[in-house]
Amino acid sequence: MLLQQNQLSPTTTTRTYATGTENNDNENVFTDPVAQKILTNAKILEVFRETISLMEKKGYIDTSDPKNMSGNISSWKLMKMIADSDFKAQAARVQQVMKEEGVELNPGDLLRLSRLYNQYIKP
């Protein structure tokens, strides 16, 4: 993954971030180490299933409709979901379980996983 650094002056902090402009044809969900940590961990998969079940129960997604499972949530539903106390608690639980299982995502990981999702999973 390519990294780009910004530095304005000697007194500023250097920030490094993933640019997302690289094209790695070898990236896939089967070889990505973070994806493999997630996909092979029963506790993480279970908490993801619970989250999907909650989102479906609350009407944020419809698992019978592939269009709604591919990230096409309306802005209104997204705002309602973010404000929902049950969803907030579940999101905190996902974060806690992932941390307990040794999976911590940085912005570069999220960018790469999003790209892999769009490439291999999203219809």
Does residue 15 belong to any structural domain of this protein?
A: no
Does residue 85 belong to any structural domain of this protein?
A: yes
Does residue 59 belong to any structural domain of this protein?
A: yes
* Domain interval for residue 45: 27-121
Does residue 6 belong to any structural domain of this protein?
A: no
Number of domains forming the structure of the chain: 1
**Residue entry with tokens 């769009």:** 118
Contacts of range 64-68, beta carbons closer than 8 Å, 24 or more positions apart: 66/123, 67/123
Does residue 20 belong to any structural domain of this protein?
A: no
Measured CA to CA in angstroms, residue 80 lies from 75, 77, 105, 116 at distances of 9, 5, 25, 27
> Tens digit of pLDDT per residue, the chain (123 long)?
444 445 555 555 555 444 444 445 556 767 888 888 888 899 998 998 898 899 889 988 887 766 655 556 788 888 999 899 999 999 999 999 999 999 988 888 888 877 776 666 554
**Quick one: tokens of 75?**
């802005």
Does residue 106 belong to any structural domain of this protein?
A: yes
Does residue 18 belong to any structural domain of this protein?
A: no
Does residue 31 belong to any structural domain of this protein?
A: yes
Tell me what pLDDT residue 100 has: 95
pTM of the entire predicted model: 0.65
